[in-house]
Amino acid sequence: MNTTHHSLIKAAYGQKVDRVPVWLMRQAGRILPQYRAIRNKLSGFKELIKTPELAAQVTIQPVDELGVDAAIIFSDILVVPEAMGLNYNLVEQKGPSFPSTIETREDIDKLKVLQHDEDCPYVGQAISLTKQELNGRVPLIGFAGAPWTIFAYMIEGTGSKAFARARKFLYQQPVLSHQLLSKITASTINYLRAQVDHGASIIQLFDSWAGILPPDQYRTFGLSYIERICSAFPDVPVIVFPKGAYYARQELAEVDCRVVSIDWNMDPRETRDLLGDVKTLQGNLDPALLYAERSEVQAATKSMIEAFGRKRYIANLGHGVYPDTPLDNVKAFVDAVKEYG
Amino acid sequence: MNTTHHSLIKAAYGQKVDRVPVWLMRQAGRILPQYRAIRNKLSGFKELIKTPELAAQVTIQPVDELGVDAAIIFSDILVVPEAMGLNYNLVEQKGPSFPSTIETREDIDKLKVLQHDEDCPYVGQAISLTKQELNGRVPLIGFAGAPWTIFAYMIEGTGSKAFARARKFLYQQPVLSHQLLSKITASTINYLRAQVDHGASIIQLFDSWAGILPPDQYRTFGLSYIERICSAFPDVPVIVFPKGAYYARQELAEVDCRVVSIDWNMDPRETRDLLGDVKTLQGNLDPALLYAERSEVQAATKSMIEAFGRKRYIANLGHGVYPDTPLDNVKAFVDAVKEYG
């Protein structure tokens, strides 16, 4: 199914669109009653990810309910380390935890490189089912965590304010760090290739913990691996979301991606100046603003579009939508983009 | 005791110094065996804070052991909300938690404004004891959390990745938010005034959660209250540490503080350009870098001083030293500043 006529894909390639496309990070999830109805019947979040029929169903829900211009496959960034051999537990509201973490060369050697489809076939299956159901209505976004973020979880074992253990590893074991990051990168390329082969039309790299590294380290241990992934996908637009790494924006202009997604701290006009005309920008409404009055949501969405401009732009939040956001305000956001955009 | 001849105070006022002064955020703490010996005999962290003799003792330890150019009173930013009537628990390694949080106007009305000395006399007592013991060797730094950070804990109840609840409150209850921030600010001014009266020669405002607000909200709910506090202390240099709020640097040039402390993400040269010659800068070595080889610590410290320049500069880390940092590397950092600075 060719989806190049969709506004999201056209915007990613810098082509003219009739209207600014809009979607929300974490749009498939707890904000939707339809999602909660399915999720509450299951034993856990991972069961939902690993059941392609259900994953496809919740992936499509926001397209029907919110009228967004894209679907993003329902999954989790930590399926990659799991497929590499590092199992994790996911407790909603508490975040992920890894019973064992990576500490030594032997630990890294034991990890396997995720192979195309073999190691987490359920994601490809969910994508195929979703594509079939969507029937070309909107494009499907595939995604993965960026290597540094996956690395951070594999070393730290849980989410953390400072990821001091993961950052200690970078300083004390730079050679092993590169070895692990290379293995994660190879796995991620295979994983994303499988997603594209099954029908993802565009892919997003989530670098959720980009912002905790100093600029020189992010260059060495973050951006260089993102570059490797982007180079492996000349055929698909890539969205890079380097959350918090405001200092890396200028360097991102040189990275072979089509779209840079920015968080709510980053100024749209300043970011345009830094990145120039070569990238499409995505973002960046403060997810907490969706707790405000409807009229404030509408006004802020309009200001956001004016700040980014209608060209080379994909409307989104600056991070995932918070699970307890009032559904009406999510709709007000989407509708405001459609009206003004 | 007049301490204006000390290099820290001179650097804060932009006067010429013989050598760059150096201290570390969280220097009084678990990195020191002398601290652990005292702490391990006590039931908890709060007992240490509330026992002036012991608080004074651990405040002075890093001056003796590390040779730093300042002492910072051993305390916690959350003594202010506690003195206002909101009790908290502190579990080391897990962070603080408030059994009740602020939700309504009534909750805010019930809070008292902390009065000079009456509501947490132990901090003033600890400062007096410390001054006596220090006998003019180094100046003593007093401190408080910045109003937005204290507000965030009082609403959220715990530390958090996104402080979504506190940020929701800003959007849904702007009037109550200003009311609570004003009360926190009045309390903080009284609290810091008591510290100065007891002998603190310089004060630091820790805005640990500055970086999670969008720029316009930080202006309204963050900076404006910091300004109020700075204006209340024309007689003492104030250090503002707006962690993560890189976007606010230019505006900080207009705030009536002497020193801006920056985290390890912010580029020293760029920050000088943004803030101009009117402020002294403090920071910003990545605390995780102290996990590296000694020679790397030395080289990075030298590069840092070269990037900041020797004028209007106080050497420090970009955040508090991590508790498991090797003591030898902390010493290598301090010694490197003394050697190169």
pLDDT tens digits, B65-108? 999 999 999 999 999 999 999 999 987 777 899 999 999 999 99
Q: Is ipTM beyond 0.85?
A: yes
The average pLDDT across A154-166 equals 94
3-state secondary structure of A315: strand
β-pairing, A95-97 vs B259-262, is unpaired
Q: How many CB atoms lie within 10 A of CB B179?
A: 15
Report d(CA A224, CA A256) in Å as an integer. Answer: 11
Weakest-pLDDT range from A57-71, A91-105, B224-238:
A91-105
A292 and B322 within 8 Å at the Cβ level: the answer is no
Q: Tell me the chain A residues in contact with residue B322 when contact means C-beta distances shorter than 8 Å.
A: 162, 164
Q: Give the pLDDT of residue A2.
A: 55
Give phi and psi for B39, each to the nearest 5: -60, -40
Distance of CA B202 to the CA centre of its chain: 11
CB atoms B292 and A171 under 8 Å: yes
Residues 6+ positions from A270 with CB-CB distance below 8 Å: none
DSSP for A5-32, please give it: TSHHHHHHTT---SS--B--TT-SSTTS
Identify the band that residue A195 occupies on the pLDDT scale cut at 50, 70 and 90.
Answer: very high
Residue whose C-alpha is closest to residue A143's, from A206, A224, A197, A82: A206
Question: Between chains, do B322 and A287 touch, taking CB under 8 Å as contact?
Answer: no
CA distance A208 to A318: 11
Domain boundaries, chain A: 7-340
Count how many pairs of residues, chain A against chain B, have C-beta atoms within 8 Å: 79
Contact B127, B200 (CB under 8 A): yes
Question: B-chain residues within 8 Å CB-CB of A162?
Answer: 287-288, 319, 322
Least confident of A88-92, A283-287, B27-31: A88-92
Given an 8 Å threshold on Cβ–Cβ distance, is B164 in contact with A288?
yes
Give residue ranges of B with CB < 8 Å to any A CB: 159, 161-162, 164, 167-168, 170-172, 211-215, 217, 244, 246-247, 264-267, 286-289, 291-292, 296, 318-319, 322
Distance (Å, rounded) from C-alpha A228 to C-alpha A215? 18
Q: Within chain B, which residues score under 50 in pLDDT?
A: 1
Cβ within 8 Å of residue B72, ≥6 positions away:
B23, B25, B27, B28, B59, B140, B141, B142, B143, B204
Burial class (CB in 10 A: 0-12, 13-18, 19+), A89: middle
| Nearest-neighbour CA in chain B from A43: distance (Å) | 26
Residues of B in contact with A287 (CB under 8 A): 162, 164
Q: Do A171 and B211 touch (CB under 8 A)?
A: no
Decide if B267 and A247 are in contact by the 8 Å CB cutoff: yes
**Catalytic machinery residues of A:** 26, 30, 39, 76, 153
Interface contact flag, A247 B264, Cβ < 8 Å: no
Nearest CA in chain B to A297: B171
Q: What's the pLDDT tens digit per position in A215-230?
A: 999 999 999 999 999 9
What single-letter amino acid sits at A292? A
User: pTM above 0.90?
Assistant: yes
**Which option is the CATH number for A7-340: 3.40.640.10, 3.30.300.30, 3.40.190.150, 3.20.20.210?**
3.20.20.210
Shortest Cα distance, chain B CAs vs residue A70, angstroms: 26
Check B88, B153, B225, B246 and give the catalytic one: B153
Determine contact, residues B69/B5, Cβ cutoff 8 Å.
no
**B31, B40, B125, B253, B334 from B34: Cα distances, Å:** 9, 10, 21, 39, 18
Q: Is residue A336 predicted with pLDDT exceeding 50? A: yes
B305 and B312 in contact (C-beta within 8 Å)? no
The pLDDT of residue B2 is 55
Per-residue pLDDT, A116: 87
Name the closest residue on chain B to residue A172, using Cα atoms. Answer: B292
Q: At what angle do helices A174-198 and A164-172 cross, to 10 degrees?
A: 120
Nearest to B214 among A159, A244, A264 (CB): A264
Q: Collect all residues with Cβ–Cβ distance below 8 Å to B47 and sequence separation of at least 6.
A: none
C-alpha A300: how far from its chain's center?
23
Q: Residue A140 pLDDT more than 60?
A: yes
* Helical H segments across chain B, by residue range: 7-12, 33-39, 45-49, 52-66, 79-84, 105-110, 121-134, 147-156, 164-172, 174-198, 215-217, 224-231, 249-252, 268-275, 294-308, 327-340
Cα separation of the two ends of chain A: 26
DSSP A158: B
Contact across the interface for A168 and B214, Cβ inside 8 Å: no
Of B170, B247, B296, the CB nearest to A265: B247
Question: To which residue do tokens 């989410």 refer?
Answer: A159
Task: Say if residues B73 and B146 touch (Cβ distance below 8 Å).
Answer: no
Neighbours of B124 (CB within 10 A): 22
DSSP string, B228-250: HHHHT-TTS-EEEE-TT-GGGHH
Peptide bond into A40 cis (omega under 30): no
CA–CA–CA angle B267, B269, B270 (5° rounding): 65
Alpha helices in chain A (DSSP H): 7-12, 33-39, 45-49, 52-66, 79-83, 105-110, 121-134, 147-156, 164-172, 174-198, 215-217, 224-231, 249-252, 268-275, 294-308, 327-340
Q: Indicate which residue of B76, B107, B286, B335 is catalytic.
A: B76
Nearest by CB to residue A214, choosing from B161, B217, B265, is: B265
pLDDT of residue A1: 47
- Across the range A294-304, mean pLDDT stands at 98
pLDDT of residue A93: 72
**CA A13/CA B73 separation, integer angstroms:** 56
Q: B171 contacts in A (CB within 8 Å)? A: 288-289, 291-292, 296
Per the prediction, chain A carries an average pLDDT of 96
- Inter-chain contact B286–A214, Cβ cutoff 8 Å? yes
